[in-house]
Structures are given as C-alpha cells and as structure tokens.
Structure 1
Amino acid sequence: MKLGIFAKTFGGADPETVLKAVADAGFVSVQYNMACSGLPSMPEAIGKEQARPVTEAARKTGIEIAAVSGTYNMIHPDRAVREAGHRKLAALAERCADLSTGLITLCTGTRDPVDQWKEHPDNNTQDAWRDLLEAMGTAVEIAERNNVDLGIEPELANVINSAEKAHRLIAELKSPRLKIVLDPANLFELATIDEQRTIVSSAIDLLADRIVMAHAKDRNSDGSFATAGKGVLDYAHYLGRLRAIGFTGSLITHGLLASEAPRVGGFLKSKLETASTGAAR
C-alpha cells in the first residue's frame, strides 16, 4: 500500500508548494483538492493552464495524485443545487487527464440543506434513494465521457451509510465506473473491539472488488473522530484485512493538522510494515 494524505492538510495555493510539503512529511500520494491550486474545491470551470501545474508538481516532487475531491451534496433537497454540483463535476472530470488522475471522490449526500456531512432522518427514505440513483446516473454518464472512475465512501451521516447500501447501489447502477473509498472510522461510532472488527471485516469482504482507496482516521472512545493512531480503531486488523484482499492502492490519512503529519505518517508506516493477513480476524 502507498502512504498518502489529503493535500489540503497543508496550507498553500500553489500545487508545487503543497506537494513538496507532502513529500517532506513522508508521504507518496495525495487526494488532491483544487483549493490547493487557489481555486474553489469545486470550480465552475478549470482551464488547462490551471490543471497542468498539478501534474508538473507531481512529477517534480514524486507524489502520486491518487484522486481529486469532487464532493457535493448529491441528494440536496433543492434540485437546482444538485444540478449545479453535476455541472462542476463535469468541469472537474474534463480536466482529470491534465491533473494526472483517473479517480474523483464523491459525497453521496444528505437531506440536510446546509451541511453535506450532517445526518438527516430523511436520508433513509425511498425519495432519497430515488434522487441518489438519478444523481449517480448523471455522474456515471459524466465519468464515462471522460474516462474516469467515481469513488463513493460509506459514512454514517450520508445516504450511503453502510457497506450494504454501497453494495446495493453498485448492484442497481451496474456501472464499472463506481468504486469504493473505504474509511472504517465512518462505519461505526461506538463499538466493542469485536464488534468493530466484525463491521470492518464484513465491509471489506463485501466491497473487496470495488475498493480503490482506503482512508485513515480514528474514533475516540466517546464516538468522536480522532487523528489516526490516537483512537480505538484496530489498525492491525484493518490493514491486515486490506492486505488479505490484495489491496495495493493508497492509504490516505485526513482529519489532522499539518504539524501532526510526520507523526501520523510514522504511525501508519509502522502499521503497514507489521500488519499481515494473520493479524486479521
């Protein structure tokens, strides 16, 4: 596996400055964000002159652009907001070749009208599922036109709030463009160690053939999020299960300060070195 980080962890609006900081902290890949190029995360338009410096910076620093963030609320209650998100996704997809990546990460969304990462009771309704299928259908068409893949992440606050729902979406859409970004800390809040291991193992086994990226953050014992290595997540088990399915992609950490990056990188590197399929249960 390749050790990576959210590029946006580091300050700066110049891709070479940001990617150099990534390399200096000991990482080899990033989930890029257009904010690191001085643009909105989801711009209305991206010129070649704005995209190509990312590829040049990646070449100079030796950092792989594993994916670019394309998150917007795919089931926002206002259709106009969803449609604006589709237009921005298309603008991003059209420039992925110039960004030297073939993967866009998405947010499956929530009915909350303000915060796309906030849970809402209507997320589990048939209407929400219908709107997600429609939105994902549009996104898949955009991906097909531009020869890119789409990474969705099961997380409790969104409409795809479990591995089972992600699997259902894949089955219903029947598109090879739809991939999985797996973050075990998004699959539970409070769980015993055995419950946690069961949840993580089941998710990895169910989605194994679609997992293209893994995330690395953590949970505190009270259920709040934590920086990787500071919480209760069993990383030996998690990474062991990923190795068991033959995953060799990027392990991308996020939810940390730039000052924490070297320490977190060291923690993850040690876990990658020691984790084995025998550690997984």
Structure 2
Amino acid sequence: MSVGVLAHLFGSLPYKELAPKVAEKGFAHVQLALWKAISDIDFSKPGNLSPGLASAIGEQFDRNGVSISVLGCYVHLFDRNEDVRRANVNRFKELLRYAKQFGAPMVAAETGRNEGGDYTERDWAVMKSTLEELAEEAERWGVYVGLEAADRHLIGTAPELARMLEEVRSSMVGVVIDPGNLLNEANFARQNEVIEEAFELLGDRIIAAHAKDRILLPDGSLSTMPAGFGEMNYELYMKLLNRCKPHVHIVMEEAKEHQMAHSKSYIEGIRSRV
C-alpha cells in the first residue's frame, strides 16, 4: 500500500521533467491527468494519443522508478449538453484504449456536478448509460474504470455509488475511495459513521484510494487540507483500508511541494501501526 501523489500537484511540466521531479520527492507512483500535468504535448482534445506516445510517457516514468497507478480523467460524464457529454465519453474511452501502454491499470473519474446540485432521474439514467458504455470499453481492453463519489456531485454518497454499481454490473468498474470527498458541513461531526458506511458498502470494490484531509473552520465551513493538516479520522480510514484492501495504491491530493514529505510520512506512520 504505497503512497503516491497527483502528478499535477507539481504543476504542468514537460513529461521528461515531471517524472524525475516526482521521483525526487520519494513517490513510487502517480495519478496522471495528461492535460493537467504535461505541458509539452497538447492534450486539450482527444486524438493525439498513440501507442508510441503513451509508451514513451510510461517509459519515462518507469526509468525514474515511478509507475502510473491511475490515469485521471476530469470530465463531466452526464453533461446535459449531448455534444459535450459525447466528447467527454470519447476522451475517457481514448484513455482506456491506451492505459496499458502507460502502464496504468485504471482510468478514474468523479461523475461531474451541476451548479446548484439540481439532479434529476434523467441525469441518473444518462450517467448509467455512460458508465455502461465505458464499462464495455474497459472490458474490451482489460482496464478498470475507477468511479469516485464526491459530495455535491450526481453520485455524492457511498449509498449512491453502491446503487450505481448495482445497476451497472461489470467486474471492470471499481471504486476510488476518498472519505474526504464524502464529508460535508452537515455530516462532519459523525464522520466515523460516514467512513464506516463507505467501507461497508464499497469495501470489496475498492481499486485505489485518495488521501486528503478536512477541517471545520470557525465560521462553520469545511475546508480541504493535505493529509495530516486537518481533523479527519485517518486512524479509522487506514485501519479499514488495510483490512479491506492491503497494498492498494494511495494517491495524495492537495499537498503543495513543501507539505508533501509531512503528509506522506503522516499517512505511512498511521498505516504501519493500525
């Protein structure tokens, strides 16, 4: 269960500079979002990938002792504009096709969100159709779709993600667990219950984990912090993660470069004793 990092926390860099920088900070794997992390190739739209390009990027990381544990795909998967949704689905499918050349076992995303959180049954049906299409593509290429619940998104809770997994029955769709994404101002005081529920409902489907922290501010708002800088119950999180999915990849979020060593050590310290 090694601790990796979001590649774009180092900024957007040429990939031959990014890989050694990740290694210098002591990380053995990354979540790589191409258009967020790589500056010297235009990934602003689908179509530029090839087996050669994907292999070149993957090999550059490998030469520096860093694997790509997750390909991140930050797109809206049920967008009400069908042209936009179709473009987003195609982008996700392109990553699925080339994931193995990167050395990545999965492509992961949240569902997307509408401003105001005005979700309808039609939104759910569109998301289900999207996931069915992505699952079919994932099965074709032997790569996982990682789906993450996030507060205020269409799939914002562990029960909602469990429902979607029940409706789309594919062994190639798994869960990226992130308790920090399940917490909000209303449920933070009972965070243990929220975390335990997530593992009860989703534990056997986890294929990767994210690590951020949350803290309740004096004004009552909930802020996001790097791991070890907040008030989330990491003892419980790591204990349940160790129990359900030993050696699962953990990807750190939020940390700035000067905070990374502290957060990594914090996670590893708790993980080693629970």
TM over 0.5: yes
Are residues 1:17 and 2:17 paired?
yes
1:116 maps to: none
When residues 153 and 192 of structure 1 are mapped into structure 2, their CA distance, relative to the original with a 3 A threshold, is closer
Structure 1 residue 122 corresponds to structure 2 residue 118: yes
**8 A Cα contact 1:219 1:225, kept in partner:** yes
Deviations 1:208-229 (A, max 9, x none): 1110111110111131211111
Residues 34 and 40, structure 1, Cα contact 8 Å, conserved in 2: no
Distance change in 2, residues 1:41/1:72 (3 Å): farther
**2:46 paired with 1:44:** yes
The answer to whether the aligner puts 1:243 opposite 2:245 as a matched pair is no
Matched, 1:176 2:171: yes
What is residue 208 of structure 2 aligned with on the other side?
213
Pick which of 205-214 and 242-251 moved more: 242-251
Q: Which residue matches 2:143?
A: 148
Return closer, same or farther for 1:90/1:57 CA change in 2, 3 Å cut-off. Answer: same
1: CA distance, partners of 2:250 / 2:7: 13
Distance 1:58 1:248 in 2: 20
Report what 2:130 is aligned to: 135
In 2 relative to 1, CA 229–43 (structure 1 residues): closer, same or farther, beyond 3 Å? same
- Of 158, 162, 166, 2:153 maps to 158
CA distance in 1 between counterparts of 2:252 and 2:152 reads: 19
Percent identity reads 23
Residues 1:94 and 2:97 aligned together: yes
Answer yes or no: is the 8 Å Cα contact 1:25–1:265 preserved in 2: no
- Tell me the SS of whatever aligns to 1:101: coil
Alpha carbons 2:143, 2:172 under 8 Å: kept: yes
Query: 1:51-62 counterparts in 2 under 5 A?
Result: 51-62=54-65
Partner SS state of residue 68, structure 2: strand
Shift of 1:194: 6.5
Matched position secondary structure for 1:106: strand
For 2:188 and 2:129, how far apart are their aligned partners in 1? Answer: 38
Superposed CA RMSD in Å reads 1.8
Indicate the SS of the match to 2:195.
helix
Query: Any idea what the Cα deviations from partners look like across 1:255-274, whole Å, max 9, x if unmatched?
Result: 12123212222222222222
Q: TM-score, normalised by structure 2?
A: 0.91
Q: Distance in 1 between matches of 2:264 and 2:91?
A: 32
Classify 1:201/1:139 alpha carbon distance in 2 versus 1 (closer, same or farther; 3 Å). same
Q: Which structure 1 residue ranges, 5 or more long, are not aligned? A: 113-119, 277-281
User: Which residue identity lines up with residue 61 of structure 2 in the other structure?
Assistant: A
SS class of match (1:104): strand
Q: TM-score, normalised by structure 1?
A: 0.89
Does residue 253 (structure 1) correspond to residue 256 (structure 2)? The answer is no
Q: Is the contact between residue 5 and residue 253 of structure 1 (CA under 8 Å) also seen in structure 2?
A: yes
Q: What letter is aligned with 2:19? A: L
Give the distance between the partners of 2:262 and 2:236, measured in 1 at CA. Answer: 20
Q: Check 1:9–1:121 CA distance in 2 against 1; reply closer, same or farther (3 A cut).
A: closer
Is the Cα contact below 8 Å between 2:212 and 2:253 reproduced in 1? yes
Is 2:109 the counterpart of 1:106? yes
1:62-118 deviation digits (Å, cap 9, x = unpaired): 112111012210111211110011111122222112111120012212234xxxxxx
CA distance in 1: counterparts of 2:2 and 2:11, whole angstroms:
22
Confirm or deny: 8 A CA contact 1:15 1:53 kept in the other structure.
no
